[in-house]
Amino acid sequence: MIKVGCCGFPTSMKEYFRLFSTVEIQKTFYNPPKPETAKKWRDEAGEDFEFAVKAFQIITHPPSSPTYRKAKIHAEDGGYFKPVREVFDAWERTREIAKILSARIIVFQTPRSFRENEENKKNMREFFSTIEREFTFCWEPRGWSEKGVREVCESLDLIHVVDPFVSESLYGEPKYYRLHGFDYKHKYTDEQLLWLKEKVGGDCYVMFNNVHMLDDALRFLKILEGNK
């Protein structure tokens, strides 16, 4: 089953819930919402709607990241899955919202500065062996070798998140695709979306994350339904 959605809400929530069956929440990355806000989303979406959650940036990104300033948050330490209080507190906030939303998927996106080295691998092993395995964990690395990605994903049972126009997913089911466009402003052509239909299949998520994600996702749904 191919589930199609967007990374964030490119239209009103009410309209989005009418059009799609899944979404990847971005607010949880910048600064998780209050529990009562998440409960309101869950109630408004309807029981058949599926939320995926992007993990709080304090887990994955260092305090020097510009996304901290954008979200107006401050942390003395954190990022890179370090075994420090700030990271595990950030996980608890992510976990709380994910449980309220009845999320199946949590996406951990690491920045390019999260290098393929033994310290970072060790931090990931400690983090994922410590936290509860109540969800399906997905990891979107940047700049790692195929060997390194496969080693980490296999040992920690993480789904490898990719843009299918860029690379192959090396491990895990269901597949989880995040489509960033060839640049963020890219609008996919019908030919590219037809290629995407042939590329993906089975139990997978196809989540658009570009400026034109609303239109692209809706056109892709029509293609899957055979209406285009």
CATH code, 217: 3.20.20.410
- Which structural domain, as residue segments, surrounds residue 52? 2-224
Please state the domain count of the chain. 1
For the CA atoms of 29, 73, 9, 2, the dihedral, rounded to the nearest 10 degrees, stands at 0
HSE-up of residue 136 (Cα within 13 Å, Cβ side): 17
Cα-Cα-Cα-Cα dihedral of 55, 59, 61, 62, to 10°? 160
Spatial CA neighbour of 164 closest among 106, 109, 211, 208: 208
| Dihedral, CA of residue 87, residue 92, residue 98 and residue 102, to nearest 10 | 150
Structure tokens at 193: 């979306």
- Quote the pTM value: 0.95
- Tell me what pLDDT residue 175 has: 98
Q: What residues of the chain score a pLDDT lower than 70?
A: 227-228
- Give the rounded distance of the alpha carbon of 173 from its chain centre: 15
Across the beta sheet with 2-7, the strand order is 159-160, 136-140, 105-109, 50-54, 22-25, 2-7, 204-208, 175-179
